[in-house]
Chains A and B, each alone.
Chain A
Amino acid sequence: MGKLTFSMGGVHPHDSKYARECAIEELPLPQTVYVSMAQHLGAPAKPLVAVGDQVKVGQVIAEPGGFISAFIHSPASGTVKSIAPRKDLAGNPVMHVEIAVEGDEWDPAIDRSPELVTAIPDDKAAILERIKACGVVGLGGATFPTHVKLSPPPGKVAECLIINGAECEPFLTSDYRIMIERPKEIVIGAAIMQKVLGGCPCVIGIEENKPEGIARMHAAVAELGYPGIRVQVLKKRYPQGGEKQLIDAVMHRQVKSGGLPIDVGAVVQNVATSLAVYEAVQKNKPLITNVLTITGDTLPVEKQHNYLFRIGVPLSFIVEQAGGVPETAAKLISGGPMMGKAISNLDATTVKGSSSVLYLSDAATRRKAESNCIRCGKCADACPMGLEPFLLNRLYKAGDLDALEKNAAQDCIECGCCLYSCPANIPLLDHIRQAKGQVMGVIRARAAAAKAAAEAAKAAAETQK
C-alpha cells in the first residue's frame, strides 16, 4: 500500500526535527517536585495525601475527581511538603502537591527489570482496571484518560485501533525516539489495547520523514508476530497526527461534526500512550515518566536533548540541566510550534502531557503586523476540517453566535493551519478559538436545558400516573 494522507487542507511546515539523533537520556531528580492535580482532560484529581506524609515512587497521591479524570502517582520518594495552589505554565493557579525528594525508593509492586513481557493477560476488565489505576492518559497532547477511550459506549464497536506515530508537529522528536528505542514495548502496548477493544485490526501510522522509526517498528511487529497489527507509512503533512485526520488517512472515513471517532469505529492512541499502557499492564508501572524534547531553531545540536523525565519536575530544572535558556531564544514553547503553549512561567512544573521545551528565536516567532483580509482563500484551503476561517473570523467580530454554529466553529481543532497560511497575518486562530469556546458554551447550555426539560417532563408524567 502506498503512503496515505488525509483528504483536505493541511500545510507543509519545515519539519525541523534537529533533535532526532539525540538518544533518550534519563534526567536526574531535583530536590523538590511539584505534582499538578490538573494533568489530564476533565475534572482535576483530588489529593489523597496530607502534608508530612512519606511517599514512595509510584504511590498513588491523588484520585480521579470525576468520570473523566485520572489517578496521579508520586514521581519521587520523600515527604509531602505542601498541598497548595501554584502557577502553571500559563500563570494560572492550579493545585499542586509539593514533595521534598529523599532518595529514590520505589513502590515494591513495580517491576523495574528490563525484560520484555510478551504474554498478554486474558481478562479485559482487569487490563482496563490496571490502565485506570496506573493513571494512563493520552500522551498525544489532549491527555484524555485512556481507560475511558478504550471503553466504547454500548452499541459502538471499535473496528480499527490506530496507533498514532505521525508526530506531525515540527521540532518534536520524543515519539520518534521511543519508536527507535522501545519499538517492541509499543507493539505489545498496541496488542494489549487491541485485545481490550475485542481484537480489531491495529494500524500504526508513521509519517514518511521517520524512516528509521518505520524500519524499527516494522521489525518489531514482524518479530513479535501479534495478529492484525501493521505499520502504515503516511505522507508528511501537518496536521497528520490530528485524530480526525489520521482516521481519514488510514480508514478513509470522516467523523461527522460533533461526533466522536468511535462513531466511525475508530480508536486512536499515541505511541507514547501505547508505551505507557505496556508499562502499566505488564510492569505495573504507573505513568510517572515521559519523554520530552529540548530543541530550538538556533540551538546547537549538542545542546538538544531527548530527556526521560519524572512527571512533576519543574521546567526550570530541566532547562538548567540542558544548559540554561540560550540568549537567542525569544519565546519558549511547551509542545510543538503549531499547537504548543507559550511558557510564561518557567517555575511551572511538567505534567503528563509535557512533550517539549522549544527555544524559538525572535525572527521565527514574532507576529507580523496584521493587515486586511485580501480574500485569497488560503485559510479555507489550509483548513483540514473544511471550515472557512475568514468567515468565522468575521462572524466572531460581529458576535453572531448562531451563524458561527451554523458554520461549525465548534469543529475547529485549533491546529493553526489558517494562521500559518494567512498572508495578511490576521490572528484567525485566536479569534476562532474564542468563537469555538462561546459556541461550545451555547451548545452545552442547550443540552443541559434539554436534559432538565426532559427530566421535568418525566417527573410530571410520573406524578400523573
Chain B
Amino acid sequence: MTQTIIWTVAILSVLGLLLALILFWVARKFKVEEDPRIDEVEKVMPGANCGGCGFAGCRAFADAAVKAPNLDNQYCPVGGDEVMQKVASILGYTVAKKAPQVAVVRCNGSCEARPRINEYDGAQSCRVKAALYSGDTACSYGCLGCGDCVAACQFGALSMDPATGLPIVDEQKCTACGACAKACPKHIIELRAKGPRGMREFVSCVNKDKGPMAKKACASACIGCGLCAKTCQHGAITVTDNVAYIDFNLCKLCRECEAVCPTGAIHGVNFPKELDKDAVKKRIADRKAKAAAAPEEKKEVANG
C-alpha cells in the first residue's frame, strides 16, 4: 500500500517536472516580442470595444497607436481628450485638444409636422425601408423612424420618442462614437461639437427640396429661405441645396438665426433661458436701422 503511494507520487512528480521543462523550452523558443506599451495603452482605454475610432477594438487601437509615428489620425471618441492625453504621455507624443462631440439628430419632422401619406408594414429596419421607398411622409430626406440608430448604439444613448417618432440622444450617455451616424441610411445624424456647457445651435433638417415642396411635406422643414444666413453676424451659416447649415466652429451662440427662422427648423439646446424671439428680433431690427442710418450720416458729412 505504502509502496503504491510512493510510486505514484514519484511518477507524477517526475512527469510534472519533465512537462514543465518542455513548456519552459517552448515558451522561450516561440516567444512573441510585443511592445509592452500596447498593454499600457490598452489599460487606459475605455474598454468598450465600440469601434468608434475606426479600429476593431481598444486593443487594435492601442496596437496601431504604438506603431504609428504620431497620433494625428487616431482619436478615441469615447474616452475623449482625457484618454488621449494619457495615451500620448505613455507613448511620448503630443495631441491637440479636440472639442467633445455629441450625436445630433437633424430631423424635426414630428408626427404633427409631417403627416403620413403612406403606411409601411415591411421589415422594421430603416435600411430596408430606405431601399424600398422614400418614407411614409412626403419628405424624402427625413427620419424613417424604424430605429436603426437605436439598435446601433452600444451605450444606450438613443431611444425613439413615441410622441414624435424621432430618435432622442441622451447627451450623458452619448460618446460620439459615430455608430448611429453610420447606421442611418438618410444621413440625418451628425456628430457636432458639444459646445460650452452643452449649448449649441443646429439646423434640424436635411430636406434638399425647394421651399414650397419642403414646406408642403413638413411644417418644420428648412425651406432654404436664407434668412438665417443673412441675419448671422459671424458668417457661420451657409445655404446649399435649399438647406441651411451652421458651422459650429464659427457659431457664437447668439441665437438670432433661431429667432428669425420662419419654420422653427433651427434648434438651440441646453441654453439656460428660453429664447425670447421678440426681443432678439427687436435687437436685429435695431441693428439694421442703425446700419441703414450710418451710411447716410457719412454721406451728410461728405456733403458738408
Contacts and interface: CB of A to CB of B under 8 A. Distances in A.
Interface of A: 87, 90-93, 341-342, 344, 366-367, 427, 430-431, 433-434, 437
Interface in B108-144: 117-118, 121-123, 125, 127-128, 131-135, 138, 140
Contacts of B123: 427, 430-431
Contact of B134 (A344, A433, A437): A344
Interface string B239-264: 00000000000000000000000000
A434 B140 contact: no
Given A427-B122, A427-B123, A90 B134 contact: yes
30 contacts: A87-B134, A90-B132, A90-B134, A91-B134, A91-B135, A91-B140, A92-B133, A93-B140, A341-B133, A342-B118, A342-B132, A344-B117, A344-B118, A344-B134, A366-B121, A367-B121, A367-B122, A427-B123, A427-B128, A430-B122, A430-B123, A430-B125, A431-B125, A431-B128, A433-B128, A433-B131, A434-B125, A434-B127, A434-B128, A434-B131
Contact of B131 (A342, A344, A437): A437
Q: Is the interface of B mostly helix, strand, loop or mixed?
A: loop
Q: Is the interface of A mostly helix, strand, loop or mixed?
A: mixed
A204 B33 CA distance: 70
Contacts of B127: 434
Nearest to B117: A344
B45 to A, nearest CB: 24
A433 B133 CA distance: 14
Contacts of A91: 133-135, 138, 140
Interface of B: 117-118, 121-123, 125, 127-128, 131-135, 138, 140, 209
A344 B144 CA distance: 14
A292 to B, nearest CB: 20
A290 B119 CA distance: 30
| Top-9 shortest CB links A-B | A91-B134, A427-B123, A90-B133, A430-B123, A430-B128, A344-B118, A344-B133, A367-B121, A91-B140
A302 B117 CA distance: 29
A320 B172 CA distance: 54
Contacts of A427: 122-123, 128
Given A92-B134, A344-B134, A427-B122, A87 B128 contact: no
A63 to B, nearest CB: 26
Contacts of A93: 140, 209
Nearest to A91: B134
B188 to A, nearest CB: 16
A22 to B, nearest CB: 29
A87 B138 CA distance: 10
Given A341-B133, A430-B122, 16 more contacts: A87-B134, A90-B134, A91-B140, A92-B133, A92-B134, A92-B140, A341-B132, A344-B134, A367-B121, A367-B122, A427-B123, A430-B123, A431-B123, A431-B125, A434-B131, A437-B131
Nearest to A397: B125
B140 A87 contact: yes
Contacts of B131: 433-434, 437
B5 to A, nearest CB: 55
B123 to A, nearest CB: 4
B179 to A, nearest CB: 13
Contacts of B209: 93
A60 B138 CA distance: 32
Contacts of B121: 366-367
A90 B130 CA distance: 10
A366 B119 CA distance: 10
A342 B133 contact: yes
B278 to A, nearest CB: 38
A290 to B, nearest CB: 23
A341 B133 CA distance: 9
A443 to B, nearest CB: 18
B133 to A, nearest CB: 4
Contacts of A342: 118, 132-133
Nearest to A330: B119
B91 to A, nearest CB: 32
